[in-house]
Amino acid sequence: MNESGLAQQLLNLIGGKQNINQVWHCATRLRFTLKDRAKVPKDKIEALDGVITVVEASGQFQVVIGNNVGDVYHEVVKLEPSLSEGETSGETAAQGKMTFKSAFNSLLTFISGVFTPFLGAMAGAGILKGLLSLAVVMGWLTAKSGAYQIWWAAADGIFYFLPIALAFTAAKQLKVNQFVSMAIAAAMVSPGIVALGAKATTIDFFGIPVVPANYTATVLPILLVVVVQKFLEPVFNKLWHESVRNIMAPLCLLVVIVPLTLIVVGPISATVSSWLATAIVSLNKSVPILAGLVLGGFWQVIVIFGVHWALVPVMMNNIAQNGTDLMMPILLPAVLSQAGAALAVFLRTRDAKMKSLAGSSTITALFGITEPTIYGITLKLKKPFYLACVAGAVGGMIVAISGAGANAAALASVLLLPTFIGKGFGLSVVGDVVAFALGTVLTYFFGGINAGAKAKTAPSVNSEPGEALAAPVKGVLVPLTGLADEVFASETMGKGVAIVPENGIVKAPVAGVIRLLYPTGHAIGIQSDKGSEILIHIGIDTVNLKGKHFQPLVAQGQHVEIGTPLVQFDHEAIEKEGYESTVMMIVTNSDQYQIATLGQGATDDRPVMTLA
């Protein structure tokens, strides 16, 4: 399925913009905050071609797409322009009782929304900074050369002016004036304030002593400032008449918040940042094996639950305070061990589809994108995921003992290695190699690869070509492309036929197993004994009837024969309710077959489609 078709499908299944508070994306996932999760069929979304899996964590409905997630997101926004990144659609969901869980989920949603828009640029800049450090160590460039200075400006710029980028995205999340936030951040990193901070020069603000701090590359101060703006901005907006509000409200915010930042907010946040960085460094130095074991072994579990966003500001704060971060190098073994497990699956599996996915996932994992590897391979097969976590823990302990630190923030990948150059670099590389090799070896010998792959793929093997599909209902055969429903008519879900029913009994078109049965009875999925995957959908938008006029006659997991009654429905009553009762039969894995439709007009139980 192409990106446009997938975007349309997702919007339809999620309930459109009316059910979406926010949507944005990270490296591999579309992240939704929804108004009513109960309206969204998770299983049906997971079954879409192009969706790896669906994860619900941190208050988000996360659809794992893979490397082309950006293209799918842009198609979503193209279909619904109001759903631009980080913006809300319509009224927000009603707020329930505040709990620790809901507050923590809101915090994670805020942090991920703040950082994800520019993670790609920051990762690229971080890798460039590491490569420049490597070039100096190897003698390829000198720090005084023109090429080095130009490229260093390119690499360091986004980190130096990080508060400005954070101001923009944080203001977007909190729905305040983004350009006022950026102006405040620009004041914090202006040359005059930076110079005063470097010299620890005390100045006064109407008699109040001010000791400017260095806010370049910091995270916490500007986030706190935007929170303060969230409370003050409505006050100033109400204070001024609308004729001058657009000028006077920003003026008041700058006059009040910039001094407040330098006098109160900045120093407090700087002190907290310093304490936090010192505590983490002390833990890594006093109990490095424990830090390596936890981060190396459980990092991917933390990622699955979406809690890793809470640690991103911490790692960036460590770099701002100490020049290096000791946590980031420990994460690389966790990533490389998953890549090693994927390589083992690639080398050993006998399933062609799994081998292809494992080969590409190995490469993407090496470069820091592990979601396709986790959800498509290791977690799906279970044992490889657990074994990779063991390998990541072993490698993480070695790296933690080395004391290596990263001098730039980026995705944990092999490209990040140059940023570790310095103390403990050699031993940290040993830990990385051990994690990758151990993940490969453990998974190859103990991962149960072929048994798991065979169990997963055996039902979908089309070993008997030429399968015929009988009409699921008696009626008049009409072209699928002529339907009023764009999803079915465009054949984005697969090729098929449509039948205007003359009775109210839907029968099995093939022998197979009921894999999907909606409680409402309006849709049913069958996997035939010969491998085809068939969706029978009764009516258009009949899900809105909530089961009214439908009576399922089989159970999910039941084996049926051709002609077995599946669902009884009242097509006349459905039409009186204002819905079309046309029955669609779709082959959802039609890309695996050559499909022919047999005849037109009236039909009964005779074959209407053949698959070859």
The residues that are catalytic are 26, 537
Distance, in Å, from the CA atom of 404 to the CA atom of 384, rounded to the nearest integer, reads 28
DSSP symbol at 588: T
Distance, in Å, from the CA atom of 63 to the CA atom of 89, rounded to the nearest integer, reads 18
- Rg for the chain (alpha carbons), in Å? 29
Looking at the chain, the number of H-run helices and the number of E-run strands are: 23, 20
| Residue matched to tokens 């053949």 | 610
DSSP symbol at 263: I
Handedness of CA 154, 157, 159, 160 (dihedral sign): positive
- Indicate the residue type of 273: S
Q: Which of 30, 23, 34, 32 is nearest to 6 (CA)?
A: 30
Q: Give residue 560's Cα distance to chain centre.
A: 38
Distance, in Å, from the CA atom of 113 to the CA atom of 120, rounded to the nearest integer, reads 14
Rounded (5°) CA angle 109-114-117 = 115
Q: Which of 345, 273, 255 is nearest to 313 (CA)?
A: 273
Residues 6+ apart with CB under 8 A from 98: none
What phi, psi does 280 have (nearest 5°)? -70, -45
Residues 6+ apart with CB under 8 A from 239: 248, 249, 252
Distance, in Å, from the CA atom of 537 to the CA atom of 584, rounded to the nearest integer, reads 5
Torsion angle of C-alpha atoms 26, 30, 31, 35, degrees rounded to 10 = 160
- Angle between the N-to-C axes of helices 288-304 and 266-286, in degrees from 0 to 180, rounded to the nearest 10: 120
- Indicate the residue type of 185: A
**DSSP states along 11-60:** HHHHT-GGGEEEEEE-SSEEEEEES-GGGS-HHHHHTSTT--EEEEETTE
Q: Which of 524, 520, 527 is nearest to 507 (CA)?
A: 524
Torsion angle of C-alpha atoms 55, 61, 63, 67, degrees rounded to 10 = -100
Distance, in Å, from the CA atom of 591 to the CA atom of 134, rounded to the nearest integer, reads 47
Torsion angle of C-alpha atoms 289, 295, 296, 300, degrees rounded to 10 = 160
- Indicate the residue type of 243: S
> Under a CB-based contact definition with an 8 Å cutoff, are residues 195 and 265 in contact?
no
Distance, in Å, from the CA atom of 508 to the CA atom of 534, rounded to the nearest integer, reads 10
Distance, in Å, from the CA atom of 465 to the CA atom of 41, rounded to the nearest integer, reads 32
Beta bridge partners of 174: none
Going by their DSSP bridges, the two strands 607-611 and 467-470 should be labelled as: antiparallel
| Residue matched to tokens 């986030």 | 223
